[in-house]
C-alpha cells in the first residue's frame, strides 16, 4: 500500500490556497465598494456646507452610497490635479478616486487642460443646453473651457455653476458719515483710523491666493487692462503703479494695529466683531456674516465713542470703536438705517471703474470616473438641471441658499430679494450681490493661473514684509509673470513642472 504524505504536506498547500482565494475575494469586494460609492470632493468651509447636505439628500433619494471628501483650499486643488493627471483608479493615503469635484473657477483651465491629450474633465454642455438663460452670464462664462480659441462656444461647458461667489465691500455703518465709494476714500479713512489707533481696512495678506484675491479689485480699479480675462501674449501689467502703492498703504498698519490678516476668515471676524471698519468679503462670507450679526452686536455691547472691546478675534491692543450713532448715508433710501454692517459695491478707481472679482464654485466630472453616469445624475440633481418636480421647483437651489450659498440662478436671487427677513434686517446684502455678479470680472483663463498667482503673491508679500518698492515689485512681475501669458510658454511650464508651484517653497 502506498504511503500517504505527512499531514503538514497536505494542510499547508490547502491553507495557502484558501488564503489566496479569500484575499482575492476581499480585494474584489473592496474594489467593488469603491466603484459603488459615489465620491465627491468639496472645499472645507462655508462654501461646501450646502453641497454636503445635498449629497446626503441625494444618497437618501436615490439609494446610492455617497462619500464626501472635505479638503482645505490648496489641498483640494492639489489632490484634484494629481488624480486628473494620473487618471487615478485606486485610493491613495486614504483618499479614494473622485467622481465629482468642486472647483474654484480659475482652476478650470489647469484641471481640464492636458497639453498633449484630450480634456481631463467631462463635457457637460448637454446638461446646460437650453437652460443658459436661467443663470447669470458671469457664472456661465467661467464654466467654459476652450484652450484652442479665445471665444468659447455653447458646446464648451466642462463644469456647472453651483455657488456664485463674487466680491462685495463691507463697512461698519457706525464708523462712517458717508460710505467710501473710491479707493482713495478708503485710503483716507484707513489713515485716519490709524491716527485714532483704530483698524480701518482689514485685508488678507497670506501667501498666494489670499493676498492676490484682495489685490485684484484694487489693480483693476486703477488699471483696467492688467491681467485680462483672455490672456494676451506679453501683457500682464499696463499701468499698475497706483494699485501697488495703494495696497502697500492699506496694509501698512498691520504690524502696529493688526489691520491685515493671514487667515481667509479673519477679515470676516474683524468686521463681525467690530474690530475693523471695512474690508472686501466674498458674498458667501457676507451671507454667513448676516446670520451672526445680531449675536456679535450683543457680545460687543459698545458703550459709546472710544469704548474698547475684548475678544479673541481682535488684536491684543485695545481697539476704539467708531461713532455708534452715525449711520451710512450714501444710499439712505436703499439701505435701512439700522444695518450695522452694510454691503456695497467694490470701491472705484481711476475713471470710476468698480471691478469686483468673480469666484464661482463649479461642479465637474473627471473623465476617468468609474461612475460617470451617476456623477452626471448627481450634478444635475445638485444644480436643479434634472427633469423632475424637485428640479422644476429649484428645490436644491433653495436648500443651498438656506446654508448661505449665493445662488448662480437669477430666479433664486430674485426670490431672496423678496424675502422679508433679508429686506428688513439686511436690505443692502442681496442687491449688492446682484450688482456684483452683473459687474464681476473673472481672473485670467489660463492653465498657468495657479503659478501666476503664486508668483504674484510672493512678489506682493515681499513688498509688504521686506519693504520692496512698488517699482521693484512691478519689474519682478514683468519678468516672472508676463512670459506665462504666452500659451507656448505656459504649456512648456506645465510639462516640466508637473504641477509643482513656485510658492510651495517660498518663505512667504
Q: Where are the domains of the chain?
A: 31-165+359-435, 167-356+444-490
Contact yes or no for 312/149 (Cβ under 8 A): no
Give the pLDDT of residue 22. 42
Q: Residues 99, 103, 106, 111: what is their CA dihedral angle, to the nearest 10 degrees? A: -20
Fold match between domain 31-165+359-435 and domain 167-356+444-490: yes
Give the pLDDT of residue 467. 82
Give the pLDDT of residue 491. 87
Residue whose C-alpha is closest to residue 181's, from 346, 401, 51, 293: 346
pTM for the model stands at 0.83
d(CA 465, CA 469): 11
Give the pLDDT of residue 298. 39
Backbone φ and ψ for 414, nearest 5 degrees, come out as -60, -40
d(CA 320, CA 141): 44
Sign of CA dihedral 129, 355, 178, 250: positive
CATH architecture of 167-356+444-490: 3-Layer(aba) Sandwich (3.40)
Give the pLDDT of residue 51. 96
Give the pLDDT of residue 300. 39
Backbone φ and ψ for 168, nearest 5 degrees, come out as -125, 160
* 435: enclosing H helix or E strand: helix 429-439
Give the pLDDT of residue 335. 37
Give the pLDDT of residue 430. 94
d(CA 488, CA 466): 33
Q: For the segment 98-147, what is each residue's pLDDT rounded down to a tens digit? A: 999 999 999 999 999 887 788 999 999 999 999 999 999 999 999 999 98
Give the pLDDT of residue 33. 46
CATH architecture of 31-165+359-435: 3-Layer(aba) Sandwich (3.40)
Contact yes or no for 367/118 (Cβ under 8 A): yes
Q: For the segment 30-83, what is each residue's pLDDT rounded down to a tens digit? A: 444 445 899 999 999 888 999 999 999 999 999 999 999 999 998 999 999 999
Contact yes or no for 133/387 (Cβ under 8 A): no
Backbone φ and ψ for 178, nearest 5 degrees, come out as -145, 135
* All residues at 6 or more sequence positions from 163 whose CB lies less than 8 Å from its CB, including other chains: 47, 50, 51, 284, 360, 361, 400, 405, 406, 408
Contact yes or no for 263/313 (Cβ under 8 A): no
Which stretches in the chain have pLDDT values below 70?
A: 1-35, 253-265, 292-338, 497-508
- Number of neighbours of residue 78 by Cβ within 10 angstroms: 17
Give the pLDDT of residue 7. 46
Q: Which residues of 398-424 are buried (b: 16+ CB within 10 A; e: fewer)?
A: bbbbebbbbbbbbebbebbeeeeebee
Give the pLDDT of residue 468. 83
Give the pLDDT of residue 117. 82
Give the pLDDT of residue 261. 59
Q: How far is CA 46 from the centre of its chain?
A: 10
Residue 405 per-residue DSSP state: P
Amino acid at each position: 500500500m502506498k504511503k500517504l504524505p505527512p499531514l503538514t504536506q497536505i494542510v499547508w498547500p490547502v491553507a495557502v490556497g484558501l488564503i489566496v482565494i479569500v484575499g482575492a475575494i476581499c480585494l474584489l469586494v473592496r474594489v467593488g465598494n469603491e466603484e459603488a460609492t459615489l465620491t465627491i470632493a468639496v472645499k472645507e468651509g462655508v462654501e461646501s456646507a450646502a453641497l454636503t447636505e445635498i449629497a446626503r439628500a441625494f444618497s437618501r433619494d436615490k439609494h446610492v452610497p455617497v462619500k464626501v471628501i472635505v479638503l482645505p483650499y490648496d489641498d483640494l486643488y492639489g489632490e484634484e490635479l494629481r488624480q486628473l493627471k494620473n487618471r487615478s483608479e485606486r485610493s491613495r493615503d486614504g483618499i479614494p478616486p473622485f467622481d465629482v469635484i468642486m472647483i474654484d473657477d480659475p482652476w478650470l483651465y489647469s484641471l481640464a487642460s492636458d497639453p498633449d491629450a484630450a480634456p481631463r474633465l467631462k463635457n457637460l454642455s448637454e446638461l446646460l443646453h437650453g437652460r443658459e438663460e436661467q443663470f447669470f452670464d458671469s457664472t456661465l462664462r467661467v464654466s467654459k473651457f476652450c484652450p484652442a480659441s479665445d471665444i468659447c462656444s455653447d458646446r464648451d461647458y466642462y463644469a456647472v455653476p453651483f455657488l456664485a461667489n463674487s466680491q462685495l465691500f463691507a463697512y461698519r455703518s457706525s464708523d462712517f458719515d458717508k460710505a467710501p465709494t473710491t479707493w482713495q476714500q478708503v485710503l483716507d479713512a484707513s489713515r485716519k483710523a490709524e491716527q485714532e489707533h483704530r483698524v480701518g481696512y482689514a485685508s488678507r495678506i497670506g501667501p498666494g491666493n489670499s493676498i492676490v484675491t484682495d489685490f485684484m479689485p484694487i489693480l483693476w480699479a486703477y488699471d483696467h487692462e492688467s491681467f485680462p480675462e483672455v490672456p494676451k501674449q506679453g501683457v500682464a501689467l499696463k499701468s499698475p503703479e497706483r494699485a501697488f502703492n495703494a495696497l502697500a498703504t492699506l496694509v501698512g498698519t498691520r504690524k502696529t494695529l493688526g489691520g491685515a490678516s493671514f487667515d481667509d476668515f479673519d477679515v470676516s471676524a474683524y468686521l463681525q466683531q467690530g474690530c475693523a471698519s471695512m474690508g472686501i468679503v466674498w458674498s458667501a462670507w457676507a451671507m454667513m456674516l448676516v446670520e451672526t450679526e445680531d449675536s456679535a452686536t450683543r457680545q460687543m455691547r459698545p458703550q459709546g465713542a472710544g469704548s474698547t472691546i475684548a475678544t479673541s478675534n481682535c488684536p491684543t491692543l485695545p481697539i476704539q470703536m467708531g461713532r455708534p450713532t452715525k449711520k451710512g448715508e450714501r444710499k439712505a433710501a436703499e439701505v435701512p438705517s439700522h444695518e450695522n454692517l452694510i454691503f456695497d459695491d467694490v470701491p472705484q478707481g481711476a475713471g470710476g471703474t468698480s471691478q469686483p472679482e468673480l469666484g464661482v464654485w463649479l461642479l465637474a466630472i473627471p473623465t476617468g470616473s468609474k461612475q460617470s453616469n451617476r456623477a452626471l445624475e448627481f450634478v444635475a440633481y445638485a444644480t436643479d438641471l434634472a427633469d423632475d418636480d424637485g428640479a422644476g421647483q429649484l428645490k436644491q437651489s433653495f436648500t443651498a441658499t438656506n446654508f448661505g450659498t449665493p445662488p448662480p440662478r437669477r430666479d433664486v436671487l430674485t426670490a431672496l430679494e423678496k424675502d422679508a427677513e433679508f429686506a428688513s434686517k439686511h436690505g443692502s446684502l442681496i442687491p449688492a450681490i446682484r450688482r456684483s455678479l452683473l459687474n464681476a470680472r473673472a481672473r485670467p483663463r489660463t492653465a498657468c493661473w495657479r503659478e501666476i498667482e503664486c508668483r504674484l503673491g510672493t512678489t506682493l508679500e515681499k513688498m509688504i514684509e521686506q519693504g520692496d518698492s512698488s517699482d521693484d515689485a512691478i519689474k519682478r512681475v514683468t519678468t516672472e509673470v508676463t512670459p506665462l501669458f504666452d500659451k507656448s510658454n505656459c504649456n512648456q511650464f506645465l510639462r516640466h513642472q508637473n504641477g509643482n508651484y513656485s510658492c510651495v517653497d517660498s518663505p512667504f
